[in-house]
């Protein structure tokens, strides 16, 4: 257990890696306070440098050219795959597929696996807390196939209700896709319990790790997940790059979603054969600069002191909890005491969440507002929109104090 002063020093050191924390707000002339990290995280300087390195020093295609630059760029690109493999404890590098993000990864599973291997009468479980990408992907891929999509309700604390999950299970239940951490509630689901239930029934598990990756908790060995999807931009990396982890035995049998260069073995007009894993799923010139950046992001996260991170999260959470308790006007979705990450979706019946976000923006504080791409979850709480403050390890106590003051003024202006 580290003392508060040590944690503050550690946080200051972390902050030093993010030049974007110095971006001035034109209204306040102070640096912006970024409390919108669940939408996308800031990028450490090393990630930006890695992307620039690609465009400035190695601006070539990969997997194609035998010139030295091509080989060097290919090595960095493929090394990122290895970094991710060891980080999430995948058994093989072939199980790591680069996509454009969580959304594309989920679509790949919906089209490549579910559409191919599930049959009419089968059922897929989702949870009420899904991001739209983990609802609509299945709806589109499975349209008119007679496959049922069933949402499992949540407990009061915002986690998937295991009793409901078990009692709703039938011989037709073939797959579950759910978030490790909800982007609205900031609460970790009982992954190991869901794993035990799924494995005992032979049910395929797909985990949306979009909000989990930055916390370094993705462990595909322990989770024994069949598929895990996550995005680079929510874990300190660039936009436009994401990962699909899939067990090799499934990826081998799945068809690719996109056709084009690099994903083929032999092409003829009468028959085409595909490349080996993981390239079968990576058609066309990939996001090379983004993969360079993603590699730097993974290295950055791997080097973070995990114990200090967890303890710092608690410091931030205690302080945020006080802000909401003192203000006593906003309702926070999910149980405040059960937050696993400093993520707060809040509303007050009298105010529109966009007004709250817009006023906070005048005070130089960036938060998100709206349905947060989770309309069914909003409906289950009886609201249409919320404001969301989502903090990361580079946020600090001073920023929370300024957030609290700005929220007080916002409340007074709206009342
Ligand atoms: C839980 C969750 N799933 C999926 C997504 C979609 O991620 P992306 O837009 O990067 O594909 C998000 C993004 O907010 C998310 O928070």
Do 215 and 74 fall into the same domain?
yes
pLDDT in tens, 183-204: 999 999 999 999 999 999 999 9
User: Separation of 189 CA from ligand 1 center, angstroms?
Assistant: 16
CB of 159 sitting under 6 A from ligand 1: no
User: Which residue owns the Cα nearest ligand 1 atom 14?
Assistant: 39
Task: Give yes or no for residue 102 CB within 6 A of ligand 1.
Answer: yes
Domain that includes residue 342, residue range: 4-43+305-414
Q: Could you tell me if 315 and 405 lie in one domain?
A: yes
Residue 264: the pLDDT is 95
- Tens-digit pLDDT profile for residues 143-178: 999 999 999 999 988 899 999 999 999 999 999 999
Is the C-beta atom of 81 inside 6 A of ligand 1?
no
pLDDT, residue 180, reads: 97
Q: Looking at residue 409, what is its pLDDT?
A: 95
Q: How many domains does the chain have?
A: 2
Torsion of CA 345, 36, 230, 77, to 10 degrees: -170
Q: Domain check: are 194 and 220 in the same one?
A: yes
Report the share of the chain in percent with pLDDT over 90.
94
Residue 65 near residue 262, CB atoms below 8 Å: no
User: From the CB of 368, is ligand 1 less than 6 Å away?
Assistant: no
Tell which one of 234, 334, 368 to mutate to probe ligand 1, the residue whose CB is within 8 A of the most ligand atoms: 234
CA neighbor of 313 nearest in space, from 186, 166, 142, 179: 186
Return the best residue to mutate from 181, 183, 186, 187 for the ligand 1 pocket (most ligand atoms within 8 A of CB): 183
Q: Are residues 99 and 207 in the same domain?
A: yes
Same domain (yes/no): 25, 59: no
295 and 397 in a single domain? The answer is: no
Distance CA 375, CA 380 (A): 9
* 326 Cα: distance to centroid of ligand 1 (angstroms): 31
pLDDT for 1 equals 83
Distances (CA, A) of 177 to 4, 195, 204, 227, 374: 39, 11, 8, 9, 15
Q: Please check whether residue 84 is in contact with residue 298, taking contact to mean a CB–CB distance below 8 angstroms.
A: yes
User: How many angstroms separate the CA atoms of 349 and 345, rounded?
Assistant: 13
pLDDT at 404: 97
Residue in 37, 41, 101, 102 to alter for ligand 1 test, most ligand atoms within 8 A of Cβ: 102
Q: How far is the CA of 80 from the centre of ligand 1 (A)?
A: 21
Residue 119 CB burial class (10 angstroms; 0-12, 13-18, ≥19): exposed
- Burial grade of 111 (CB within 10 A; 0-12, 13-18, 19 or more): buried
Give the separation between CA 362 and CA 342, rounded to whole angstroms.
23
Q: Is the peptide bond before 8 cis (omega within 30 degrees of 0)?
A: no
The stretch 316-342 carries a mean pLDDT of 92
| Phi, psi (degrees; rounded to nearest 5) at 30 | -100, 160
Q: Are residues 285 and 152 in the same domain?
A: yes
In sequence order, what are the beta bridge partners of 118?
none
Taking residues 61-74, report their average pLDDT: 93
CA distances from 140 to 106, 134, 136, 208 (A): 12, 11, 6, 18
* Rounded Cα gap, residues 263 and 231, in angstroms: 22
| 21-38 pLDDT, tens digit each | 999 999 999 999 999 999
pLDDT score for 337 = 84
Place of tokens 């030295």: 68
Q: Return the pLDDT at 350.
A: 87
Q: How far is the CA of 2 from the centre of ligand 1 (A)?
A: 33
Q: Dihedrals φ, ψ of 174, to 5°?
A: -120, -15
The reported pLDDT for the residue numbered 153 is 95
Asked which of 279, 302, 325 is the last residue of a domain, the reply is 302
Q: Which of 287, 302, 317 is the last residue of a domain?
A: 302
Q: How confident is the model at residue 335 (pLDDT cuts 50, 70, 90)?
A: confident
Percent residues over pLDDT 70 in the chain: 100
| 208 in contact with ligand 1, CB cutoff 6 A | yes
Q: Does 336 share its domain with 383?
A: yes
380 and 400 fall within a common domain? yes
Average of pLDDT values for 260-265?
Answer: 94
Distance 372 CA to ligand 1 centre (A): 10
Residues with catalytic roles: 373
| Alpha carbon distances (Å) from 3 to 8, 308, 312 | 9, 10, 10
Do 230 and 209 share a domain, yes or no? yes
Q: Which of 40, 41, 107, 131 to mutate to test the pocket of ligand 1 (most atoms within 8 A of CB)?
A: 131
**Residue showing tokens 């992954």:** 191
> Which of 302, 325, 343 is the last residue in one of the domains?
302
Q: Per-residue pLDDT tens for 369-384?
A: 999 999 999 999 999 9
State both tokens at 381.
Answer: 């709480």
Q: Say if ligand 1 is within 6 A of residue 129 CB.
A: no
281-295: average pLDDT = 97
Question: Distance from the CA of 131 to the center of ligand 1, in angstroms?
Answer: 7
Helix 397-414 with 306-327: angle, nearest 10 deg? 20
- Cβ–ligand 1 distance for 177 under 6 Å, the answer no
Which CATH number covers residue 115? Answer: 3.40.640.10
Write down the pLDDT at residue 133: 97
pLDDT in tens, 345-360: 999 988 999 999 999 9
For residue 92, the model assigns a pLDDT of 98
Beta carbon of 179 within 6 Å of any ligand 1 atom: yes
Q: Kindly give the distance from the C-alpha atom of residue 206 to the centroid of ligand 1, in angstroms, as a whole number.
A: 14
The three-state DSSP-derived secondary structure of the chain is CCCHHHHHHHHHHHHCCCHHHHCECCCCCCECEECECCCCCCCCHHHHHHHHHHHHHCCCCCCCCCCHHHHHHHHHHHHHHHHHHHHCCCCCHHHEEEECCHHHHHHHHHHHHHHHHCCCCCEEEEECCCCCHHHHHHHHHCCCCCCEEEEECECCCCCECHHHHHHHCCCCEEEEEEECECCCCCCECCHHHHHHHHHHHCCEEEEECCCCHHHCCCCHHHHCCCEEEEEHHHCCCCCCCEEEEECHHHHHHCCCCCCCCCCEEEECCCCEEECCCCHHHCCCCCCHHHHHHHHHHHHHHHCCCHHHHHHHHHHHHHHHHHHHHHHCCCEECCCHHHCCCCEEEEECCCCCHHHHHHHHHHCCEECEEECCCCHHHHHHCCCCCEEEEECCCCCCHHHHHHHHHHHHHHHHHHC
Q: Is the CB of 151 inside a 6 Å radius of any atom of ligand 1?
A: no
Same domain membership, residue 180 and residue 94: yes
Nearest 10 degrees: CA dihedral of 134, 137, 139, 142? -120
**What pLDDT, on the 0 to 100 scale, is given for residue 191?**
98
Q: Which atom of ligand 1 lies nearest, measured to the CA of 103?
A: 11
Averaged confidence pLDDT in the chain = 96
Say yes or no: 56 and 14 in one domain.
Answer: no
User: Would the CB of 101 count as within 6 Å of ligand 1?
Assistant: yes
Q: Which atom of ligand 1 is nearest to 105's Cα?
A: 11
Q: Is pLDDT of 65 > 90? A: no
pLDDT recorded at residue 10: 98
User: 10 Å Cβ neighbour count for 140?
Assistant: 12
């Amino acid at each position: 257990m580290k003392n508060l002063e040590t944690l503050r020093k550690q946080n200051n050191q972390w902050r030093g890696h993010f030049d974007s924390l110095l971006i001035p707000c034109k209204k306040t002339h102070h640096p912006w306070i970024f409390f919108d990290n669940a939408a996308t995280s800031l990028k450490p300087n090393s990630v930006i440098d890695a992307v620039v390195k690609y465009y400035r020093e190695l601006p070539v295609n990969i997997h194609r050219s035998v010139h030295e630059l091509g080989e060097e760029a290919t090595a960095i690109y493929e090394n990122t795959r290895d970094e991710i493999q060891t980080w999430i404890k995948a058994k093989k590098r072939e199980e790591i597929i680069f996509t454009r993000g969580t959304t594309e990864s989920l679509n790949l599973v919906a089209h490549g696996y579910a559409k191919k291997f599930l049959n009419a009468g089968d059922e897929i479980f989702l949870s009420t807390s899904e991001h739209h990408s983990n609802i609509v992907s299945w709806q589109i891929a499975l349209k008119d196939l007679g496959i049922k999509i069933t949402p499992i309700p949540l407990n009061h604390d915002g986690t998937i209700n295991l009793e409901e999950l078990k009692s709703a299970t039938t011989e037709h239940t073939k797959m579950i896709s759910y978030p490790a951490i909800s982007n609205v509630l900031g609460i970790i689901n009982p992954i190991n319990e869901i794993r035990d239930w799924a494995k005992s029934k032979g049910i395929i598990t797909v985990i949306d790790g979009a909000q989990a990756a930055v916390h370094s908790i993705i462990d595909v060995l322990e989770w024994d997940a069949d598929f895990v999807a996550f995005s680079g931009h929510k874990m300190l990396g660039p936009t436009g790059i994401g990962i699909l982890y899939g067990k090799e035995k499934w990826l081998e049998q799945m068809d690719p979603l996109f056709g084009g260069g690099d994903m083929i073995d032999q092409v003829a007009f009468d028959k085409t054969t595909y490349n080996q894993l993981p390239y079968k799923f990576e058609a066309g010139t990939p996001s090379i600069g983004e993969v360079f950046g993603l590699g730097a992001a993974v290295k950055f996260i791997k080097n973070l002191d995990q114990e200090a991170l967890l303890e710092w999260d608690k410091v931030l959470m205690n302080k945020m909890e006080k802000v909401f308790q003192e203000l006593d006007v906003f309702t926070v979705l999910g149980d405040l005491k059960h937050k696993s990450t400093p993520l707060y979706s809040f509303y007050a019946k009298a105010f529109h969440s966009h007004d709250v976000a817009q006023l906070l923006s005048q005070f130089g504080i960036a938060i998100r507002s709206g349905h947060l791409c989770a309309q069914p979850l909003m409906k289950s709480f009886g609201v249409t929109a919320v404001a969301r403050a989502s903090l990361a390890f580079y946020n600090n106590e001073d920023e929370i104090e300024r957030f609290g003051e700005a929220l007080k003024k916002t409340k007074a202006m709206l009342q």
